[in-house]
Amino acid sequence: MVRKPWSPVLPWQPAIPAPRVRSGEALMAELSERVQKVVGSSSWWERHGVDICILSCSLLALPAGFLCLRSAHTIPFLVGVFILGVGYHTLAVKGSHLASHNALTKSKSWGKMWAVFFIEVTFTAEQASYNHVKLHHGYTNVIGLGDSSTWKLPFLNRYIYMFIMPLAVPIITPLVALDLLRNVEMRAALRTVCIMLLGLCCHYCLLRHVSGFQSPWSALLCMLLTRSLLAHPYIHVNIFQHIGLPMFAADRKPKRIQQMSLGVLNLPRNALLDWCFGHSLISCHVEHHLFPSLSDNMCLKIKPIVSQYLKEKQLPYNEDTYGSRLRLFLQKYEELMVHAPPITELVGIQ
């Protein structure tokens, strides 16, 4: 009697019938058809308006934040810090993420303008598109390409990385951006540097002349405080939703629908993080990776369809809480963030 070769299967992975797995393109096409029906029947407000309104409100609230910082009383001052911190992260994270996927508008020319406006306060639009859209989305959890390894700093202690290092994100980000400009054409590099400097100078001058900070160091400290207000969840979200899930070799990765259902995880809805980061980065990350051109609001709208379909086809639909992922990363930091992740072998997927 000939024995079938044994292959490891992850303990949490449901048994997937081979015929269904081999028809990955058909499954993706069927799901896409269901999603497109919802998108087609949705209004402009649902497709783009809700998210544009959130970004606009965050931008319009910034003057109130600067004025609150003029107060000598603690509560109004902290309200000002909160408004500026939330506004900054909404524009810098949610805005740049949507702009990188051209999810704010159907127009390509307007899409390029929004990409420059939201993204180039830190990186060039071209770099953001290549690193995030082409690599991370094109090769999600593929070792050496889209495996989120850029977020790993193996020389740091787990507690320093998880709780102290995020405070330095506002300082590290522009330094990394300047280093990456070496690989960009001169015109794009100069444009990005000018926009970065313009943003920093405007923030500093508004703190000095509108908020009334007397000392340059106090103004710079306030800049650091507001820009690092949500840096902890920003770092955590970026590692929680991919690292620790199945990783694949470039020549043996599964079909798209299985790759995204296996290698992406959703966190629960959170009012603050949903506003600042967007549903596509928090509770609808699976939906976002399957349909990256949709806005945050549309990802939320198609979430029941996607989750029901994946469960119906016996494909994983990964969900976990923020606290649970934090405990996992603290317990298994060496395994997840220091050592190279093992390649997952899945029978019948390839």
Whole-number pLDDT of residue 1: 41
The DSSP letter of residue 319 is: E
Q: Report helix angle 50-68 to 74-89, nearest 10.
A: 150
CB 287 within 8 A of CB 303: yes
Residue 214 predicted with pLDDT over 60: yes
Percent of the chain with pLDDT over 90: 71
40: helix, coil or strand? helix
| Mean pLDDT score across all residues of the chain | 89
Tell me: pLDDT of 8 over 60: no
The answer for residues whose C-beta is within 8 angstroms of residue 139's C-beta and 6 or more apart is 145, 146, 147, 250, 253
Q: What is the reported pLDDT for 130?
A: 83
Q: What pLDDT is stored for residue 43 in this prediction?
A: 97
Query: What percentage of the chain exceeds 70 in pLDDT?
Result: 92
Residue 348 has pLDDT above 60, yes or no: no
**Token output for 292:** 């990256």
The pLDDT-based confidence of 196 (bands split at 50, 70, 90) is confident
CA distance 283 to 56: 22
Residue 13: which pLDDT band, with cuts at 50, 70 and 90? very low
Query: How far is 335 from 161, CA to CA, in rounded Å?
Result: 14
- CA 154 – CA 9 distance, rounded (Å): 28
The pLDDT, as a whole number, for residue 212 is 94
| 114-143 pLDDT, tens digit each | 888 888 777 777 777 888 999 999 999 999
pLDDT for residue 5 is more than 80: no
Alpha helices in the chain (DSSP H): 18-22, 24-40, 44, 50-68, 74-89, 96-100, 108-119, 125-128, 158-159, 169-180, 186-209, 216-227, 231-240, 256-263, 271-277, 285-290, 296-312, 322-331, 333
Q: How confident is the model at residue 19 (pLDDT cuts 50, 70, 90)?
A: very low
Per-residue confidence (pLDDT) for residue 346, from 0 to 100: 65
Tens-place pLDDT, residues 267-313? 999 999 999 999 999 999 999 999 999 999 999 999 999 999 999 99
What's the pLDDT band for 28 if we cut at 50, 70, 90?
Answer: very high
37-41, 65-69, 145-149, 289-293: the lowest-pLDDT one: 145-149
Residue 18: pLDDT over 90:
no
| Chain segment 70-111, per-residue pLDDT in tens | 999 999 999 999 999 999 999 999 999 999 999 999 888 888
What DSSP assignment string belongs to 141-166?
A: TBTTTBSSGGG--TTS-HHIIIIIGG
User: Which residue, 83, 59, 53, is CA-closest to 199?
Assistant: 59
pLDDT of residue 4: 39
Closest C-alpha to 310, from 349, 258, 266, 254: 258
The model's pLDDT over 226-280, given as tens digits with 9 standing for 90+, comes to: 999 999 999 999 999 999 999 999 888 899 999 999 999 999 999 999 999 999 9
Which residue type occupies 257? I
Q: Which residues contact 295 (CB under 8 A, 6 or more apart)?
A: 47, 48, 50, 51, 98, 103, 104, 280
